[in-house]
Amino acid sequence: MWIVAVECMGTACYVLADEDFILSLLTNSSLRDKYQKYTFSDHVKVSMLAFLIFHFPMPSFTVA
């Protein structure tokens, strides 16, 4: 499941705005398109990183 949310940037603020709410505020179609392209691109990057970390974990090194 892909959950998109924007987090509040205030100190000690834990409010999240979901994608539907954000899109309802973006009335300009150009901004909506940019937002959706950015969130999709970010999702792909995060998914690829999670895949790499899961399938190719870093080896443990010990110093003698």
For residue 4, being part of any structural domain is answered with: no
Residue 34, domain extent: 28-56
For residue 20, being part of any structural domain is answered with: no
For residue 39, being part of any structural domain is answered with: yes
Residue 39 CA to residue 36 CA, distance in Å, equals: 5
Task: Summarize the confidence of residues 22-51 as an average pLDDT.
Answer: 89
For residue 62, being part of any structural domain is answered with: no
Residue 64 has a pLDDT of 63
Residue 26 — very low, low, confident or very high, per pLDDT cuts 50/70/90? very high
Report the number of distinct structural domains present in the chain. Answer: 1
Q: Identify the DSSP state of 10.
A: S
- The answer to whether the CB of 22 falls within 8 A of the CB of 7 is no
Residue 3 — very low, low, confident or very high, per pLDDT cuts 50/70/90? low
**pLDDT tens for each residue of 8-21:** 888 888 888 888 88
Residue 13 CA to residue 18 CA, distance in Å, equals: 15
For residue 18, being part of any structural domain is answered with: no
| SS3 at position 34 | helix
Alpha carbon distance, N-terminus to C-terminus of the chain: 44
Higher pLDDT pick, 36 / 4: 36
Mean pLDDT of the chain: 83
